[in-house]
Structure 1
Amino acid sequence: MKTFNILILSSGRRVELVKLFKEAINELGLKGKIICADASSYAPSLFFSDEKEVIPRIESPTFIETIINISLKHDISLIIPTIDTELLPLSTNKKFIEKSTGAKVLISNENLIKICRDKNKTQDFLEENGFKMPKRFKTEEEIRENDFPLFIKPISGSSSINAFKVTDFNQLKSYLDIIKTPIIQQNIVGDEYTVDVFCDFNSRIVSVVPRLRIETRGGEISKGKIVRDNKIIDEVSKLVKIMKPIGHITIQLFKTKSDIYFIEINPRFGGGAPMSIMSGANSCKNLLRILNGDQLDYNNDFIENQIYLRFDSSIVINDEN
């Protein structure tokens, strides 16, 4: 029986994801280990993995070399990124890593990553392809008093860091002092959704699961509801067929009474992805099945109207220093 060892990079606090991959290996009757790697030796996920590795930070010149060495050491089948800042270096070096290790890298093409990592490029791409986004103000001079409230955030930001609702010109000036490369947009009022999409390595859609963001903390969903909204599913599917991503991606949007406004695209596992996985759209199992040679069809058999509540938990470790 072939062994499928999976390397999760920058695994941090993603204990849920580690557990779900372990469960998937067991439930499918496969052999394999979950290896977690993080720049911090105290990342909680390291203590739930089968093997752990401490790696240099992404900006280190040895980052890619270290990933290759770890992959060879543990006979890795699949490398999974989890944070925005590692996406571009991994997509740029994807072919080199795969040729050097024999492992697959769960990453979309470099051009798509560049579009997703720059919110101005995301807006251009979506609008050029006929999708709605909040109105963008390219300069402060374009803004009028009746345009408020607005929303400002860094063009390459993540986790809602330095993302603010702006109610007047005084606030705008203050935030422009903080955010040096901002995108300024209309503030949309509506229901906010994160949509989990899973595509195979040929960018064929396997599942699309909308989840209503009931409550967030630090930009990540803490309470969410799985919703079978066919209008959202259809619009997201239309976008994904144009984008052609690979693996599990998350798309954020607002739904108003009349329209769907896309906010951003994160071409990786989002922090709330376990909600959709546990609802039946099991990206962990799907990835293992693909690695095992299965051909997957589109499947929308997820369980709707489930509410997921995420919470913190503590573990204790012995300090060996």
Structure 2
Amino acid sequence: MTAVLFTCAGQRVDIVSAFGRAGATTVATDLDPLAPALYHADRRALVPPVSDPGYVAALAALVAEHDVRLVVPLTDLDQEIVSAAREALEPALVLAPTPNVCRTMGDKYLAHAFFSEHGIPSPRTWLPDDVPGDARYPLLVKVREGFGSRHIYRADDPDELDFHLRSTPVESMVQERCLGEEFSIDVFCDVGGRCLNAIPRSMIQSKGGESIKGRSLADGELVEHGASVAETVGIVGPANVQCFREPDGSLPVTDVNPRFGGAFPLPLAAGSRYPELALALARGERPEPRLGEFREGIVMTRFFSDLCLVEDGNGGLVPFAEELPHPIAVEPGEA
């Protein structure tokens, strides 16, 4: 069985569990001992913060200890760090693009500049001091580096734009608001950057920047667009391409997140087999592209779940799976 190390595992129980079902031995890491994904993996380990000088060394030690063959960063927090540490993490394959791609896609203004330079349609975007007089309102003030739809503000006129630019606590850019319907395309590329599949989905509802309801779409134009964008950017492994279909038929791209998306369960249910493809890459195989091979009309609706833990007697925590210990608390007001 191929051992897979997940960094910043957090709440990504869906991804860790899917790799387990695909035949991997899962090793989850996080800073937080209460990160739920830790307790859905075959093995778990606490590691230093991503900013700690010993972070990569801690991951490398786990690679050696568990004979890890694939490293999968699950968030933007450490993706560039892990990508730059490929040699230190050998013989494991790091499922991420180059550090430069991670850095460029992580900065939304640099990403826009890349899109424009490489012929990928993108909404008109400016730095705060460069907004022209003919900008089409409403405009969006957006954080350059961030996630979860934090620090995004709508300005309906120049006065509101000035207010938001003065008030925002983060480095920002200004972007014209798209007028059409929004879509996400979950793609997966091999180590050479070939797109193996691209699965579009509608954005029925989002919360905190993550899609919680959506439907897989058999839309050939979006499939081809997602694959083309992924290959132009230089994606290795998973990515999520976010775009709009405008009234004029164009497909401007707003974001490319080079990792598994928040709505991972939807393309998985649609038949993406992305965990199996990742494991094949870790074994040195070269899967053939299967663009457009997935189930359309799969509807996802996400919900909160939970995990209860108890102390194991050795200073650690384990999933609660026994009868309640005695004595149990009495009802309020009872003796």
Q: Structures share a fold, TM > 0.5?
A: yes
* 1:206-257 Cα shifts (integer Å, max 9, x gaps): 1011111111111111001111211122222222232222101111111123
Separation in 1, partners of 2:164, 2:281: 46
Separation in 1, partners of 2:163, 2:66: 49
Which amino acid in the other structure matches residue 314 of structure 1?
D
Partner of 1:169: 158
Q: Contact 2:230/2:239 (CA < 8 Å) preserved in 1?
A: no
Separation in 1, partners of 2:39, 2:133: 52
Separation in 1, partners of 2:262, 2:65: 28
Separation in 1, partners of 2:216, 2:96: 25
State the SS of the aligned residue for 1:250. strand
Q: After alignment, is 150-159 or 289-298 more displaced? A: 289-298
Q: Contact 1:160/1:219 (CA < 8 Å) preserved in 2?
A: yes
Which amino acid in the other structure matches residue 296 of structure 1?
P
State the SS of the aligned residue for 2:10. coil
Q: 2:194 aligns with which of 190, 204, 223?
A: 204
1:218 and 2:218 matched: no
Separation in 2, partners of 1:135, 1:275: 30
User: Aligned Cα RMSD in Å?
Assistant: 1.7
Q: CA deviation at 1:294?
A: 3.5
Separation in 1, partners of 2:109, 2:98: 18
Assess, with a 3 A threshold, how the Cα gap between structure 1 residues 201 and 318 changes in structure 2: closer, same or farther.
same
Q: 1:193 aligns with which of 183, 188, 196?
A: 183
Partner of 2:125: 136
Q: CA deviation at 1:140?
A: 4.4
Larger Rg: 2
After superposition, where does 1:192-271 map in structure 2 within 5 Å? 192-257=182-247, 258-271=249-262
Separation in 2, partners of 1:271, 1:6: 19
List runs of 5+ in structure 1 lacking aligned partners: 26-31
Which amino acid in the other structure matches residue 5 of structure 1?
A
1:149 and 2:138 matched: yes
Separation in 2, partners of 1:231, 1:179: 39
Assess, with a 3 A threshold, how the Cα gap between structure 1 residues 168 and 72 changes in structure 2: closer, same or farther.
same
Q: CA deviation at 1:163?
A: 1.7
Partner of 2:104: 115
Q: Contact 1:87/1:107 (CA < 8 Å) preserved in 2?
A: yes
Assess, with a 3 A threshold, how the Cα gap between structure 1 residues 201 and 142 changes in structure 2: closer, same or farther.
closer
Q: CA deviation at 1:173?
A: 3.3
Partner of 1:28: none
Partner of 1:284: 275
Q: After alignment, is 267-276 or 137-146 more displaced? A: 137-146
TM superposition outliers: structure 1 runs of 4+ over 6 Å? none
Separation in 1, partners of 2:153, 2:51: 27
Partner of 2:265: 274
Partner of 1:20: 18
1:74 and 2:74 matched: no
Partner of 2:323: none
Q: After alignment, is 240-249 or 204-213 more displaced? A: 240-249
Total equivalences in the alignment: 310
Q: CA deviation at 1:117?
A: 1.3
Alignment TM-score, normalising by the size of structure 1: 0.91
Q: Contact 1:126/1:132 (CA < 8 Å) preserved in 2?
A: yes
Q: CA deviation at 1:174?
A: 3.6
Q: CA deviation at 1:193?
A: 1.2
Identity of aligned residues (%): 24
- Larger relative helix fraction: 1
Q: CA deviation at 1:137?
A: 2.7
Partner of 1:60: 52
Q: After alignment, is 158-167 or 246-255 more displaced? A: 158-167
Separation in 2, partners of 1:271, 1:314: 17
Which amino acid in the other structure matches residue 43 of structure 2?
E
Q: Contact 1:6/1:35 (CA < 8 Å) preserved in 2?
A: yes
State the SS of the aligned residue for 2:240. strand
Q: Contact 1:212/1:224 (CA < 8 Å) preserved in 2?
A: yes
List runs of 5+ in structure 2 lacking aligned partners: 316-335
Q: CA deviation at 1:88?
A: 1.4
Q: Contact 2:189/2:195 (CA < 8 Å) preserved in 1?
A: yes
Which amino acid in the other structure matches residue 105 of structure 2?
C
* 1:182-215 Cα shifts (integer Å, max 9, x gaps): 0110011221111111111121211011111111
Separation in 2, partners of 1:152, 1:75: 46
Q: 2:286 aligns with which of 275, 295, 311?
A: 295
Assess, with a 3 A threshold, how the Cα gap between structure 1 residues 178 and 266 changes in structure 2: closer, same or farther.
same
Q: CA deviation at 1:82?
A: 1.0
Q: Contact 2:10/2:35 (CA < 8 Å) preserved in 1?
A: yes
Which amino acid in the other structure matches residue 171 of structure 1?
E
